[in-house]
């Protein structure tokens, strides 16, 4: 620890005065802070696991929210067909033992072919419009809030990246929950020959929102949020924390320059694997809670909540039931994480340069 600390102090003392950015007292906390006289035992250069870290890009918060939303929407366009397949696989054989139901979908490629053959190419992009709304709102809030935590220095503390990622994910998931509810309904519904799960038979995005509101009220639009919040908390914490650590490791290894898109690409690939492994059980539970029918009292007919859903799935389908759709989850999350993190990081760097 003393060696790392000494290296950080040497790095700070070797910096010339022209390298220190000066700001007036009127500037926000997101601009680089002025140098201050510190005691010999304190360093202003943040130290990571592998040594001194560069400060995060200083981006105006509303712009950072917009960049996060735009990055994830761009990734969503390419990965939405896998989201459709993932939803179908997770609903297939709901609360039934293996071998006791007809399997319409037997894998990622076969499922893509079945959906394309039956529903057409448009069927592979079901729920895309509301999916873009969800990605824009949820990830705009999530990535923007995480960037805010970076600017405040919260992520520099031990465990700060995990806590910041989880908190930012919970906020984004709660606000965008109605969009995810409608997206799940639309992606699950299809013709009777290959239908799985409950079929809500909405006529479109606007019809889905209106129908849910009329039947269940405003609270009905947030039905299933108790499964979405832990899902995104776990996924967001794993994604942002592993992305930050992996990028730091790649930069420290000097394989690529710290701001190279190849460094970002490699860090995002590592992050995608971590997200797929940790988030799949939460993803299955979230999909089931969102898609279940409700009774006259607006209560779920199949599950009473997150823990009840987990127990019922494990009892009826076994522990592996929580990992249904693992293939498309990884194939969707890995490229989605790579694309969204790559787009977000590169756009932030460009915004800083333009500034």
Please give the pLDDT value at position 58.
58
The CATH number of whichever domain residue 132 belongs to comes to 1.50.40.10
In a domain, 44, yes or no: no
Q: Residue 133 falls within a domain, yes or no?
A: yes
DSSP codes, 100-140: SS--S--SHHHHHHHHHHHH-GGGGGTTHHHHHHHHHHHHH
Domain membership flag for residue 31? no
Output the pLDDT for position 75.
Answer: 84
Cα four-point dihedral sign 343, 348, 353, 355: positive
**Residue 34 included in any domain:** no
pLDDT value, residue 199? 96
CA distances from 102 to 105, 110, 279 (A): 9, 15, 26
Residue 12 lies in a domain: no
Domain of residue 336 covers: 61-354
Count up the domains in the chain and report the number.
1
Q: pLDDT per position in the chain (355 positions), as tens?
A: 445 444 544 544 444 444 433 444 444 444 444 444 444 444 444 444 444 444 555 567 678 788 878 888 888 998 899 999 999 999 999 999 988 999 999 989 999 999 999 999 999 999 999 999 999 999 888 888 888 888 888 988 888 888 998 999 899 999 999 999 999 999 999 999 999 999 999 999 999 999 999 999 999 999 999 999 999 999 888 877 887 788 888 878 777 776 677 877 788 778 878 888 888 999 999 999 999 999 988 899 999 999 999 999 999 999 999 999 888 887 877 777 777 777 777 787 887 777 6
In a domain, 16, yes or no: no
Any domain includes 191: yes
201 belongs to a structural domain: yes
Three-class SS state of 26:
coil
Contact present, 124 and 44 (Cβ < 8 Å):
no
């Amino acid at each position: 620890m003393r060696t790392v600390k000494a290296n950080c102090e040497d790095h700070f003392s070797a910096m010339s005065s022209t390298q220190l950015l000066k700001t007036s007292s009127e500037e926000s906390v997101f601009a680089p802070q002025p140098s201050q006289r510190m005691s010999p035992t304190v360093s202003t250069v943040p130290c990571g696991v592998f040594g001194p870290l560069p400060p995060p890009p200083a981006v105006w918060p509303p712009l950072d929210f917009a960049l996060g939303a735009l990055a994830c929407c761009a990734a969503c366009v390419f990965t939405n067909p896998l989201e459709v397949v993932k939803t179908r696989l997770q609903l297939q054989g709901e609360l039934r033992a293996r071998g006791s139901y007809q399997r319409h979908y037997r894998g990622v490629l076969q499922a893509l072919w079945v959906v394309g053959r039956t529903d057409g190419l448009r069927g592979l992009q079901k729920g895309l419009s509301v999916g873009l709304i969800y990605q824009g709102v949820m990830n705009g809030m999530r990535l923007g809030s995480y960037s805010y935590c970076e600017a405040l220095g919260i992520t520099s503390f031990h465990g700060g990246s995990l806590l910041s990622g989880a908190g930012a994910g919970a906020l984004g998931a709660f606000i965008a929950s109605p969009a995810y509810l409608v997206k799940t309904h639309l992606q699950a519904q299809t013709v009777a020959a290959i239908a799985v799960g409950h079929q809500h038979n909405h006529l479109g995005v606007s019809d889905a929102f209106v129908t849910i509101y009329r039947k269940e009220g405003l609270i009905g639009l947030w039905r299933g949020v108790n499964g979405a919040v832990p899902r995104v908390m776990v996924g967001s914490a794993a994604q942002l924390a592993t992305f930050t650590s992996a990028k730091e490791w790649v930069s420290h290894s000097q394989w690529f320059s710290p701001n190279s898109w190849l460094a970002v690409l490699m860090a995002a690939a590592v992050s995608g694997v971590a997200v797929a492994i940790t988030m799949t059980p939460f993803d299955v539970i979230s999909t089931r809670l969102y898609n279940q029918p409700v009774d006259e009292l607006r209560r779920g007919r199949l599950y009473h909540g997150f823990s009840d859903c987990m127990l019922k799935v494990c009892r009826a389908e076994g522990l592996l039931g929580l990992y249904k759709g693992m293939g498309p989850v990884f194939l969707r999350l890995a490229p989605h994480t790579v694309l969204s993190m790559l787009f977000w990081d590169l756009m932030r760097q460009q915004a800083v340069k333009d500034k």
